[in-house]
Amino acid sequence: MKPILLALILLSSSLHAAIPGAEALGKLITSQFDTNSDALIDQGEWQSGIGNSFEKLDTNQDGTIKGKEIDGLSEDIAKESGSIAGTLVVVLIKQLIMSLDSDSDKAVSRAEYDKPTQSIFTKLDADKNASLTLAELSELPSHLVTP
């Protein structure tokens, strides 16, 4: 293989799959949030999808999400994404959710969780057309891990 071609392949794979599981996470979000099934997540779907997810993630319904509760989702997510992708997705979700813990008490309250919803949408919407494609959603981990 010519070195230039190899470099291009390496470059494109690092652009599209910077973080393992990111695309599987994007697919999972699309399948959960896309209520009108147009393969795009608009602002309304994002807001209500994020809101509904809090209730799913807060499995013991004490009003906060803890790391343990996210671990408990592994099985459900493995069903949606396949076992290997599912494991990666759970790790990503945990990192993402826990990065919202602004007072560092190891629990994410509803206020901590809701606050960045709109700013995350704006960051992800690279082409500023007020809806998120799978490619844009797949950038979620890279945005939050390196804000």
* Residues near Ca ion (CB under 5 A): 34, 36, 38, 40, 101, 103, 105, 107, 125, 127, 129, 136
The two three-digit tokens of residue 14, written as one number: 């690092």
Q: How many CA atoms lie within 13 A of 3 on its CB side?
A: 0
- In angstroms, the Cα distances linking 137 to 9, 59, 107, 117, 129 are 22, 25, 25, 13, 14
Q: Which is nearer to Ca ion, 81 or 109 (CB)?
A: 109
Q: Which is nearer to Ca ion, 119 or 129 (CB)?
A: 129
Residue 24 is inside which H or E element, if any? helix 22-33
Q: Which is nearer to Ca ion, 28 or 88 (CB)?
A: 28
Give me the least distance between CB of 101 and Ca ion, in Å please.
Answer: 4
Q: Which is nearer to Ca ion, 58 or 86 (CB)?
A: 58
- Pick the closest to residue 47 from 142, 108, 115 (CA basis): 115
Give me the least distance between CB of 88 and Ca ion, in Å please.
Answer: 24
Give me the least distance between CB of 135 and Ca ion, in Å please.
Answer: 9
Give me the least distance between CB of 95 and Ca ion, in Å please.
Answer: 15
